[in-house]
């Protein structure tokens, strides 16, 4: 039953549960706690998938009459029957595949993302304004936020994004400086700096890797899309604390249609309308945040205690026999 339970939990946490949570509106009032909840769900789904495989392996190598594990996989066919044995082997193979895909996905996402960012960083360093000129062009209010990684592109359309990493960059266009007011420029730079300071890119990389690791039939794109929105909401909150909601809302609308490279975290984008509405809606809720943190802990602790302890005990007895 442990193998079946873990399989069901893994399927629920990789499909229906993310879909239901993605439809909820409360996460935008507790973005940080909601991200923790999403991370707990993703981690629990991966652990449940691996636990199902381990539980099945322990069933396929149950102790024989001498108290030792059986020597071959096929020797359990007579005990389990062909249908159940085939199902066990199929789920075990699926678990191994997910593990291999997860390792490959983590490596592919990390390497590809950093390669794209390094290339684009080289481009903006070549074509963007130097630090001295950037400081001169920046508004009086935004100048302290510029830092050493600010680059200004000679583009009329307002756009703003950041390139995370060891040598991070905040990139804005001449259109931002010519169109936005001082406080709006400050808001947009604070937004991008918040992404870099909190390393939101690493959060997105983890969800991208997990999304790619699970098979298409059971995975959901809801988690990745929801976390993308939540990290933007967190950066918005940092900007609001500096300038207030109105300058940020105007800056977001101005930069909404700006095109940004893959791997960058942009101020605008398809979620702009929803985020602007959020700025004028209800404030963040400590009650919702506390509930989300409690749910995140429960997602990890309850299945572990209820499901893992029994088969871990059995596995311990099996290998000590």
| Residue-wise pLDDT tens digits, 148-195 | 688 889 888 999 999 998 888 999 998 998 899 989 999 999 999 999
pTM value? 0.82
Least confident of 119-123, 162-166, 259-263: 259-263
The dihedral of CA 234, 238, 243, 248: what is its sign? Answer: negative
Q: Are 42 and 207 in contact (CB under 8 A)?
A: yes
Q: Are 97 and 50 in contact (CB under 8 A)?
A: no
Torsion angle of C-alpha atoms 30, 36, 37, 40, degrees rounded to 10: 180
Q: Are 65 and 321 in contact (CB under 8 A)?
A: no
| Residue-wise pLDDT tens digits, 74-101 | 666 666 677 777 777 777 787 788 788 8
What was the pLDDT predicted at 73? 57
What was the pLDDT predicted at 238? 95
Mapped onto helix, strand or coil, the DSSP state of residue 306 is helix
Mapped onto helix, strand or coil, the DSSP state of residue 72 is coil
- When pLDDT is cut at 50, 70 and 90, the band that residue 144 belongs to is low
């Amino acid at each position: 039953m442990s193998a079946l339970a873990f399989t069901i939990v893994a399927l629920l946490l990789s499909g229906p549960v993310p879909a239901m949570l993605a439809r909820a509106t409360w996460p935008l009032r507790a973005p940080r706690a909601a991200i923790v909840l999403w991370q707990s769900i993703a981690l629990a789904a991966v652990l449940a998938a691996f636990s199902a495989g381990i539980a099945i392996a322990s069933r396929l190598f149950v102790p024989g009459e001498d108290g030792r594990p059986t020597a071959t996989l096929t020797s359990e066919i007579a005990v389990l029957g062909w249908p159940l044995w085939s199902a066990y082997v199929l789920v075990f193979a699926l678990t191994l595949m997910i593990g291999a895909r997860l390792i490959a996905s983590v490596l592919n996402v990390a390497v590809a993302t950093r390669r794209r960012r390094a290339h684009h960083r080289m481009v903006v360093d070549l074509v963007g304004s130097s630090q001295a000129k950037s400081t001169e062009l920046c508004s009086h209010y935004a100048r302290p936020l510029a830092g050493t990684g600010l680059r200004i592109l000679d583009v009329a359309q307002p756009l703003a994004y950041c390139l995370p990493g060891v040598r991070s960059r905040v990139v804005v266009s001449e259109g931002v400086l010519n169109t936005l007011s001082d406080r709006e420029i400050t808001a947009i730079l604070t937004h991008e700096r918040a992404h870099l300071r909190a390393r939101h890119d690493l959060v997105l990389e983890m969800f991208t890797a997990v999304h790619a690791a699970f098979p298409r039939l059971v995975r959901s794109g809801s988690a990745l899309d929801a976390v993308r929105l939540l990290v933007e909401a967190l950066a918005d909150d940092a900007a609001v604390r500096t300038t207030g909601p109105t300058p940020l809302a105007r800056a977001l609308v101005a930069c909404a249609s700006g095109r940004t490279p893959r791997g960058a975290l942009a101020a605008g984008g398809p979620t702009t309308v929803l985020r602007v509405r959020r700025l004028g809606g209800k404030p963040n809720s400590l009650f919702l945040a506390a509930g989300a943190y409690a749910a995140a802990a429960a997602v990890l602790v309850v299945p572990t205690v209820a499901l893992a302890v029994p088969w871990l005990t059995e596995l311990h007895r099996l290998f000590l026999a």
